[in-house]
Chain A
Amino acid sequence: MSMPTEETRPLAKKKKKVPFNYSPYIRGGKLPHIWCPGCGHGIVLKSLLRAVQTTGLSQDDIAVISGIGCSSRTPGYIDFNTLHTLHGRALAYATGVKLAKPKLKVIVTTGDGDALAIGGNHFIHACRRNLDMVIMVYNNSIYGMTSGQSSPTTPLGTTSTTGRYGSIEPTFDTCQLAQAAGATFVARGTAYHFQELEKVLHEAIMHKGTAVIDIIDACPTYYGRFNKYKTATEMMEKIEKEGTVSVKQAEKMSPQELEGKLLRGIIYKSDRPEYLDEYNKLVERVQKK
């Protein structure tokens, strides 16, 4: 499993020639961010901004909406229409914004606790409706902002401040959950594979419907320290690099080899009708009568 993968190679080559200018996307005076040294959130943000640029969308036509948590601080740093809401509720706010202003491309930045625990109900129903929006789940398997409690993706047996003797709860697989609930674009990326993530985010933004991206990301401050990882890079290598395989690689691997690995890349895509399209059709039908 060496980088770059086949999928990302052409894109990486193109980027080499043009240095990326982040400044139009960063709000003046709002940095430094709150993220700890070694946190992957900054890398994810970098991939997001690069992906946004490749779509050609205007900053005026993008809304970035979040709940509460480390990843949810993203909107404050970047120059779009931005909304930092309540813990777990980002998707419900995003639903309102999108329905009121359909021309906006809505991107939600949320975490594993925010999206899958307190916001779990909103998450499955957002997927079911298939309203056009991108849901980026920054998944570091812990509550970072409140200092390291167990989340729905804290692996069995690992330690947190509320799982002192090892977690006994099974975890959610964000992608399986999203697909079962009805999301029409389901993908996974990692902060380690940041070029691949950029490409996946580009596809997600271009997709019409609910796109969920599970982004495996490290919290060295809490998850790392509690679980005996010496450095942030060790976490990235063990969890993000060795813990995942691309969809393409997986095709050539046996079930035994795939044991314990998470799939990376676009896992599922469907062209099921999008919510606003259906709503607009309904309005047209009703108004004709």
Chain B
Amino acid sequence: MHTKKFMQGNEACAEGAFYAGCRFFAGYPITPSTEVMEIAAARLPKLGGVFIQMEDEIASISAIIGGSLGGMKSMTATSGPGFSLMQEGLGFACMTEVPCVIVNVMRSGPSTGFPTGPSQSDVMQAKWGTHGDHPAIVLTPASVQELFHETVRAFNLSEQYRMPVIILYDEIVGHMREAITIPAPGEIEVIDRLRPTCSPAEYKPYDTSHGDVAPLAAYGEGYRFHVTGLYHGEDGFPTNNTKLIEEAGLRLLRKVDNNRDKICKNEELYLDDAEIGVFAYGVSAKSAKFAVKELRKKGIKAGLLRPLTIWPFPEKAVEELSKQVRAIIVPEMNLGQIVYEVERVAQGRCEVKGVLRADTEPIKPAQIIESITGNGFFPSASKMNEMMVERDMLDG
């Protein structure tokens, strides 16, 4: 039997993780993600899992990677500076192909910024923050219910493709409270990593005979294998062989590139006959949805494309949209990040305009509507200052 509950976004994230089988959490307190950790601290001992508060975020991501190699589904949660500290471990998890889930509840500004203020300004960092070429899967849920489901999906993708998956949302989604339905066990699919079926003597942790994703043994179960952050061959041992290095690097990216259709997930609203597209993710998509509905009432054919997976970028969907509409509006709570991705994919087939806001206040539907109806259909996004003035007027 499923249950109905009223809960906070961060709580739904933690509950989604437990539903997915996460039994290992290591973290370090930081606003506005701390509640995820506090709930893990309260719940995991009862579930027979492991909770540990580490000395910093570097240690936290390191511990969850260790936990995952010990065979447990593992997670950490952080924000802002903590996410910056985790970049090193994130790269290690990509390179060594260890499944784990990292939650980043976005707050405002570089450095300490405005810790309690929401933003969507880590969206490029989530893709490019760690050094070197590497794959990324980043999910952007926009409601409390969705946080639960997307956290389960994050674990599934992580286990399926043997890589870290980031759940990226902002302080508003993290702290807002909504009624949600918790599905009964078994109601949503839960995927576990492939385990080796061969003998320990035959086992290779990066065996490509299974395709791009090899089964992963756990430490202490008879398969004595080696894991290193150095480039390595199929047997897991370091290599200087340029051919093997190239193959390994390409395979890491291929895991995501070849499975875009399975990893990408979008919500579409009124796109069939849309002349104006709005591309919005996370909390900004809530306002965008409202705005699009209002515009429809005014007879303007606006539609919404909302990615629940922001990385890999939904190139196919944006390309289709760019062929159909006159302009794509991109509201985001930063000074311009995803808008340039949309521009890259649209390749000049339509106008692409950002509705940007970085003062820690959410983008309001009126701002999105204004950007479409005001200033002759499409005001220039480069006129940021003017838009800020408009926004102030709208705020009254």
Contacts from A to B (Cβ < 8 Å) = 27, 30, 59-61, 63, 65, 75-76, 79-86, 89, 92-101, 103-104, 121-122, 125, 279, 282-283, 286-287
Pick from A76, A92, A279, A283: contact of B66, CB under 8 Å: A92
Within 70-102 of B, Cβ neighbours of A (below 8 Å) are at: 70-72, 74, 88-89, 92
A residues in contact with B52, CB < 8 Å? 95, 99
A96-B70, A99-B67, A100-B71 known; A89-B58 Cβ under 8 A: yes
A residues in contact with B19, CB < 8 Å? none
Residue B316 is within 8 A (CB to CB) of chain A in the complex: no
Which residue, A59, A97, A287, has most C-beta atoms of chain B within 10 A? Answer: A97
B residues in contact with A84, CB < 8 Å? 226-230, 238
A92-B54, A121-B56 known; A83-B220 Cβ under 8 A: no
Within 46-78 of B, Cβ neighbours of A (below 8 Å) are at: 46, 48, 50, 52, 54-56, 58-60, 62-72, 74
Check if A59 sits within 8 Å of B56, measured CB to CB. no
Of chain B, the residue at the smallest CB distance from A88 is: B58
Distance (Å) between the CB of B3 and the closest chain A CB? Answer: 21
Check if A63 sits within 8 Å of B220, measured CB to CB. yes
Of chain A, the residue at the smallest CB distance from B230 is: A84
Of chain A, the residue at the smallest CB distance from B238 is: A76
Within 18-36 of B, Cβ neighbours of A (below 8 Å) are at: 24, 26
CA distance A96 to B227 in the complex (A): 15
Contacts from B to A (Cβ < 8 Å) = 24, 26, 45-46, 48, 50, 52, 54-56, 58-60, 62-72, 74, 88-89, 92, 218-222, 224-230, 237-238
A95-B54, A104-B219 known; A81-B228 Cβ under 8 A: no
B residues in contact with A286, CB < 8 Å? 45-46
Check if B66 sits within 8 Å of A95, measured CB to CB. yes
B residues in contact with A103, CB < 8 Å? 220
Check if A79 sits within 8 Å of B62, measured CB to CB. no
B residues in contact with A27, CB < 8 Å? 226
Check if A101 sits within 8 Å of B220, measured CB to CB. yes
A residues in contact with B226, CB < 8 Å? 27, 75-76, 82-84
Check if B59 sits within 8 Å of A97, measured CB to CB. no
Check if B224 sits within 8 Å of A82, measured CB to CB. yes
| 22 contacting pairs across A/B (C-beta < 8 A) | A59-B224, A60-B220, A61-B220, A75-B226, A82-B224, A82-B226, A83-B69, A85-B92, A86-B89, A95-B63, A96-B24, A96-B74, A100-B71, A100-B74, A101-B219, A104-B219, A121-B59, A122-B58, A125-B55, A279-B50, A282-B45, A287-B46
Check if B67 sits within 8 Å of A96, measured CB to CB. yes
CA distance A192 to B62 in the complex (A): 34
Check if B66 sits within 8 Å of A83, measured CB to CB. yes
CA distance A154 to B346 in the complex (A): 57
Secondary structure of the B contact surface, majority rule: mixed
Check if A93 sits within 8 Å of B218, measured CB to CB. no
CA distance A125 to B237 in the complex (A): 30
B residues in contact with A82, CB < 8 Å? 224-227
Check if A97 sits within 8 Å of B92, measured CB to CB. no
Check if A97 sits within 8 Å of B69, measured CB to CB. yes
Distance (Å) between the CB of B19 and the closest chain A CB? Answer: 19
A95-B63, A96-B26, A99-B52 known; A86-B92 Cβ under 8 A: yes
CA distance A117 to B46 in the complex (A): 37
Pick from A80, A83, A122: contact of B55, CB under 8 Å: A122
Pick from B58, B72, B224: contact of A100, CB under 8 Å: B72
Of chain B, the residue at the smallest CB distance from A75 is: B226
CA distance A282 to B237 in the complex (A): 39
A92-B66, A94-B66 known; A101-B218 Cβ under 8 A: yes
Distance (Å) between the CB of A61 and the closest chain B CB? Answer: 7
Of chain B, the residue at the smallest CB distance from A131 is: B52
A residues in contact with B68, CB < 8 Å? 96, 100
CA distance A95 to B50 in the complex (A): 11
Check if B63 sits within 8 Å of A92, measured CB to CB. yes
Pick from B89, B224, B225: contact of A89, CB under 8 Å: B89
Check if B59 sits within 8 Å of A125, measured CB to CB. yes
Check if A287 sits within 8 Å of B88, measured CB to CB. no
Of chain B, the residue at the smallest CB distance from A89 is: B62
Distance (Å) between the CB of A215 and the closest chain B CB? Answer: 22
CA distance A85 to B93 in the complex (A): 10
Pick from B63, B225, B237: contact of A93, CB under 8 Å: B63
CA distance A17 to B224 in the complex (A): 31
B residues in contact with A65, CB < 8 Å? 66
CA distance A229 to B52 in the complex (A): 46
Pick from A79, A100, A125: contact of B24, CB under 8 Å: A100
Check if B70 sits within 8 Å of A100, measured CB to CB. yes
Of chain B, the residue at the smallest CB distance from A84 is: B228
Distance (Å) between the CB of B48 and the closest chain A CB? Answer: 7
Pick from A30, A96, A283: contact of B63, CB under 8 Å: A96
CA distance A83 to B56 in the complex (A): 21
CA distance A79 to B64 in the complex (A): 24
CA distance A79 to B236 in the complex (A): 13
A75-B226, A82-B226, A100-B71 known; A93-B62 Cβ under 8 A: yes
